Chains A and B, each alone.
Chain A
Amino acid sequence: MTALEPTTTPGSSAPGGLVKSVVELDRVVIRLAGDSGDGMQLTGNRFTSETASFGNDLSTLPNFPAEIRAPTGTLPGVSSFQLHFADHDIMTPGDAPDVLVAMNPAALKANLGDLPGGGLVIADSDEFTPRNLAKVGYATNPLEDGSLDGWQVVAVPLTSMTLEALADSGLGKKEAERSKNMFTLGLLSWMYHRPTEGTVRFLERQFRRKPGIAAANIAAFRAGYNYGETTEAFAVSYEIKPAPMPPGRYRNISGNQALALGLVAAGQRSGLPVFLGAYPITPASDILHELSRHKAFGVRTFQAEDEIAGIGAALGASFGGALGITTTSGPGVSLKSEALGLAVMTELPLVVVDVQRGGPSTGLPTKTEQSDLLQAMFGRNGEAPLPVIAPRSPGDCFDAALEAARIALKYRTPVMLLSDGYLANGAEPWAVPAVDELPDLRVEFATEPNGAAADGTPEFLPYLRDPETLARPWAVPGTAGMQHRIGGLEKADKSGNISYDPANHDLMTRLRQAKVDGIAADIPPTDVDDPDGDARVAVIGWGSTYGPIGAACRRIRRSGRSVAQIHLRHVNPMPADLGEVLGRYDRVVCPEMNMGQLALLLRAKYLVDVQSHTQVRGLPFRAAELAAVVQDVIDSTTPTASTGGTT
């Protein structure tokens, strides 16, 4: 285990007369792994909820295959859920698990490589049958052949104990077996002193129409808990104290949930009806699911026939005065490119959410990546600039969604919101914000002519811009006297009529660019974290790498070195002072889950020799690996006279 200073206290006497001890840990990383059909995501989510309500800080990493049910017991069918929880503020789901729960041989084989020596393996021995072993190429049973000697192994007949516990439930064997994940959850809840009422309530709610199933799952859950208390297999349980957090009301939230709530809030704070046009796509579909439940807030959701119709309908709704939104992942953005260009040209508000996943093409639908940045920036024909915003954590998806809506509405522009699979499915405690402290997003529709024709008749000029924001007026259909036509052809300045005039096209191209560039004056300065104040190396990131980079920087600082963390929420335009900030450091390192896309932009824009560090494994960075990379850069940076060296 990874406790810095484990303190053992004698525990109480269990019913069997066993004396169990309690070990206090400051943090632990558990990975639950099983077949896609074993309910590992549900189990993980429940354990997360228990942990959240207990008051630990936490971070999760669900990891599952794109196939709904790959062949049972095979490596491609393994689904896992990693949870990191602690008595202090943490930033990542953990580099490596301390505990691996393996529901079958495939789960063991697929995950053992990540478990450091000495780590704990809890395996369902019932599933280690010759047939299941053969499926994944184990010649002998690893639970018995000594190959796991480097780890602590507790082989538990989880399946048969579940069946035994449900012998009187009236359920058939197959149905009863399905509750083994709840038995496992019960066992883990005992091991880590988790509160159990929430799970019981959850099961009652979840299966309220199938009371038999609810009762069986609760029975299995309690049996697992009691098993932990009475068995000799586990002599120790663990306590991880609640983490100190700022006072307030908290809940557990995933990135997709937070993003959806942010969009509902944006509708409420702007006073505009929300219209989502979307086509189902992993890992963005949950935003569609969530928003479709909030019709009482006037939220309209439209499941379109394809990605193009999704954005088209959203843009149509924006033309009509709604807050138009479309949600997708990279392949969907590819399909939406042309309509995005139309949104740039018609200068209507539109929020485009790209929950990035591994690419190119279909790529890795359920794995995370940050490789759509340049697509978001430039993936359209012609000069088609648009603002790009990226949340840094699951909870931050809420604020980022509000910010995307703010910019879209104020500047009358499509805004790209770049989340990713890690943020989307990952969860963390989130301080519930007060509604009246959320930004005011009210807009003004144009209702009166703003110009005059040659003969003096008042007329509406749809492209006469606000001198400050360069936004054009938004006159919605139904407003008398304001009829106008917009479209994809180049617009004449002010009147918006079709224009092929060379000078006008040059002007309009520059105006559209200037409007987006000008947003830099309306966003906070660069976010720099340099607690020592003397760092000479800065690590810059954007989006979901915030947690791993932050955790790496903490490690580096613990080793006595100074390092600055710069994190970009606004990727386009970047903060106005970013060039100057980057210039303060001798070296700038940019870790990204792509081949160096932000680094390319920074080098081009600021002529800074950014050192790119990249990884595209479909998984977030490990803090230890990042720390080693940055530490090497720090140590190879020639000390200047003022900082000196040791003698």
Chain B
Amino acid sequence: MTTSPHVHDLGMPGTPIDARIQQAIADSVETQGEKQAALKAKDMKTDQEVRWCPGCGDYVILNAVQSFLPSLGIAREDMVIVSGIGCSSRFPYYMNTYGMHSIHGRAPAIATGLAASRPDLSVWVVTGDGDALSIGGNHLIHALRRNVDMTILLFNNRIYGLTKGQYSPTSEVGKVTKSTPMGSLDHPFNPVSLALGADATFVGRAMDSDRKGLTEVLRQAAEHRGTALVEIYQNCNIFNDGAFDLLKDPATGPTWTIPLRHGEPLVFGPDGASCVVRDEFGGLRVAETNQVDASEIVVHDATREDPSYAFALSRLSSQDLRYTPMGVFRSVSKPTYDRMMLDQLEEARTQGPGDLEALLAGTDTWTVSA
């Protein structure tokens, strides 16, 4: 093994890693762009055999991610994918980046420590509905409220796949599964509503089979500074096949899907028959386009500071997926946790780097002479 000594000078401002962070932030665009220019989708693949079930929606997502990542201009070595436990969490093994397949629900916490100490890296979390919303719900909401610079891909298949088919925190009420023979009693989470409740600065939703839409949401998420959450509807063809057919079926999809395009009126359905208008309580409701004045139709604005508009959008859909908005719900700019942490370190160093000798001695010493 060849290694180079990691040397440093005591008392110098910062440490080598800190210095590298500063450097990387300073000239990230140019160097990363250069390094990455020639990369293709195949460069993102590893030699590991992909072990999802044939027909799993995860393949589609993996391919989409591998295809669009090179275009982001981030070097492979500067990217880290952290995952939890579950089918989706095998994702890092198939990406030629740095990665950690961690423990159930904890990926956002691990990624937070990594991103907060290495703002130069592009940190991604891949998680599922059970991993992120059940066992790891706490870490998810806290990562979102802190606005740590990371991108969270939440694969939502509305079922526990790896443990072979129990209901998940996004399963519909009454779902009959191995653990709920008479139907589940839990009311499901709407992950987008949950994220917006935590004041997430970027929240999007995409469909596994919609390569174009998925890539567009992922691109915006990747470019966002702060915590970005993308809910990806993902079909589990073994334990919950057809969960999203209402939205995927060309016969029904356009009726029940509300595409979100920033700056465009929220009109959808065959022939634009449906639209979104404000209701009398300050929320939103679906209306028939020909029954309302064009000025009443809401124009989508993902950049609204107040998350209640995006939240109202997320509440249009029911648990059976009718009126499901797809796209970017919210994308606002706020200082990121890692950057602010670095700023505090820099501020603390304005008086000079720490003096260890002085620190150890403290303010009250006495001397015993020989």
Q: Which residues of A does B touch, CB under 8 Å? A: 49, 52-53, 55, 198, 245-253, 261, 264-265, 267-269, 271-273, 275, 277, 294-298, 300, 302, 304-306, 308-309, 312-317, 319-322, 324, 338-339, 341-342, 346, 432-435, 442-450, 464, 466, 473, 476-489, 497-498
Partner of B77, one of A248, A481, A486, A488: A481
CA gap between A260 and B109 in the complex, in Å: 23
Residues of A within 8 A of B95 (CB): 485
CA gap between A219 and B38 in the complex, in Å: 76
Are A482 and B77 within 8 A (Cβ)?
yes
Minimal Cβ-Cβ distance residue in A for B345: A295
Residues of chain B in range 346-363 having any CB-CB distance to chain A below 8 Å:
347-349, 351-354, 356-357, 359-362
Partner of A300, one of B2, B98, B116, B368: B116
CA gap between A204 and B124 in the complex, in Å: 50
Given known A248-B367, A298-B345, contact A443–B113 (CB-CB < 8 A)? no
Residues of B within 8 A of A324 (CB): 113
Partner of B113, one of A246, A247, A275: A275
Interface membership of B54, Cβ < 8 A: no
- List 24 A-B pairs, Cβ < 8 Å: A52-B364, A245-B368, A251-B365, A267-B15, A294-B354, A295-B344, A304-B112, A308-B106, A309-B142, A313-B116, A316-B109, A320-B117, A447-B2, A447-B4, A448-B1, A464-B1, A477-B98, A478-B121, A483-B98, A485-B98, A486-B101, A487-B83, A488-B85, A498-B93
- 16 more A-B residue pairs beyond the given contacts A271-B8, A309-B112, A473-B1, with a C-beta to C-beta distance below 8 A: A248-B367, A248-B368, A264-B354, A273-B17, A294-B359, A295-B348, A295-B349, A302-B113, A309-B139, A317-B114, A319-B100, A321-B118, A444-B5, A480-B35, A487-B93, A487-B100
Residues of chain B in range 1-30 having any CB-CB distance to chain A below 8 Å:
1-8, 10, 14-18, 20, 24
CA gap between A82 and B125 in the complex, in Å: 51
Given known A296-B351, A312-B110, A339-B106, contact A445–B365 (CB-CB < 8 A)? no
Residues of B within 8 A of A319 (CB): 80, 98, 100, 110, 114
Are A313 and B110 within 8 A (Cβ)?
yes
- Number of chain B residues whose Cβ lies closer than 8 Å to a Cβ of chain A: 79
Are B357 and A435 within 8 A (Cβ)?
yes
Expressed in whole angstroms, the minimum distance between the Cβ of B342 and any Cβ of chain A is: 9
Expressed in whole angstroms, the minimum distance between the Cβ of B140 and any Cβ of chain A is: 10
Max chain B C-beta neighbours (<10 A), residue from A198, A265, A309, A446: A309
Minimal Cβ-Cβ distance residue in A for B79: A477
Interface membership of B260, Cβ < 8 A: no
Residues of B within 8 A of A489 (CB): 101
Residues of B within 8 A of A488 (CB): 85, 101-103
Partner of A251, one of B15, B98, B351, B361: B361
Minimal Cβ-Cβ distance residue in B for A458: B2
Interface membership of B333, Cβ < 8 A: no
Expressed in whole angstroms, the minimum distance between the Cβ of B351 and any Cβ of chain A is: 7
Given known A302-B116, A477-B118, contact A432–B106 (CB-CB < 8 A)? no
- Give 4 closest A-B pairs by Cβ, nearest first: A487-B101, A313-B113, A316-B113, A271-B8
Residues of A within 8 A of B83 (CB): 487
Residues of B within 8 A of A464 (CB): 1
CA gap between A505 and B95 in the complex, in Å: 25
Residues of B within 8 A of A346 (CB): 100
Given known A316-B109, A342-B103, contact A198–B364 (CB-CB < 8 A)? yes
Residues of B within 8 A of A261 (CB): 359-360
Partner of A305, one of B4, B14, B110, B139: B139
Residues of chain B in range 99-141 having any CB-CB distance to chain A below 8 Å:
99-104, 106, 109-118, 120-121, 138-139
CA gap between A163 and B232 in the complex, in Å: 69
Minimal Cβ-Cβ distance residue in A for B352: A296
Residues of chain B in range 250-291 having any CB-CB distance to chain A below 8 Å:
none
Residues of A within 8 A of B80 (CB): 319-320, 477
Residues of A within 8 A of B66 (CB): none
Are A268 and B17 within 8 A (Cβ)?
no
Residues of B within 8 A of A321 (CB): 17, 118
Minimal Cβ-Cβ distance residue in B for A253: B362
Minimal Cβ-Cβ distance residue in B for A55: B366
Expressed in whole angstroms, the minimum distance between the Cβ of B78 and any Cβ of chain A is: 6
CA gap between A324 and B15 in the complex, in Å: 15
Minimal Cβ-Cβ distance residue in B for A477: B98
Residues of A within 8 A of B7 (CB): 271, 442
Interface membership of B308, Cβ < 8 A: no
Are B356 and A296 within 8 A (Cβ)?
no
CA gap between A447 and B113 in the complex, in Å: 22
Interface membership of B168, Cβ < 8 A: no
Are B364 and A251 within 8 A (Cβ)?
yes
Partner of A275, one of B20, B77, B117, B120: B117
Residues of B within 8 A of A434 (CB): 357
Max chain A C-beta neighbours (<10 A), residue from B1, B117, B121, B347: B117
Residues of B within 8 A of A294 (CB): 354, 359
Residues of A within 8 A of B101 (CB): 485-489
CA gap between A304 and B138 in the complex, in Å: 11
Partner of A309, one of B6, B114, B138, B351: B138
Partner of A314, one of B82, B113, B352: B113
Are A483 and B109 within 8 A (Cβ)?
no
Interface membership of B341, Cβ < 8 A: yes
Residues of B within 8 A of A267 (CB): 15
Expressed in whole angstroms, the minimum distance between the Cβ of B23 and any Cβ of chain A is: 11
Residues of A within 8 A of B295 (CB): none
Residues of B within 8 A of A264 (CB): 354, 356, 359
Partner of A312, one of B92, B139, B357: B139
Given known A320-B114, A339-B103, A485-B100, contact A265–B365 (CB-CB < 8 A)? no
Expressed in whole angstroms, the minimum distance between the Cβ of B106 and any Cβ of chain A is: 5
Minimal Cβ-Cβ distance residue in B for A487: B101
Residues of A within 8 A of B356 (CB): 264-265, 268, 297, 435
Interface membership of B96, Cβ < 8 A: yes
Expressed in whole angstroms, the minimum distance between the Cβ of B28 and any Cβ of chain A is: 11
CA gap between A484 and B96 in the complex, in Å: 7
Given known A264-B356, A273-B17, contact A432–B112 (CB-CB < 8 A)? no
Are B110 and A316 within 8 A (Cβ)?
yes
CA gap between A198 and B366 in the complex, in Å: 12
Question: Would you give the 0/1 interface string for B176-194, flagging 1 where the beta carbon is closer than 8 Å to chain A?
Answer: 0000000000000000000
Partner of B117, one of A249, A271, A317, A447: A317
Interface membership of B163, Cβ < 8 A: no
Are A483 and B77 within 8 A (Cβ)?
yes
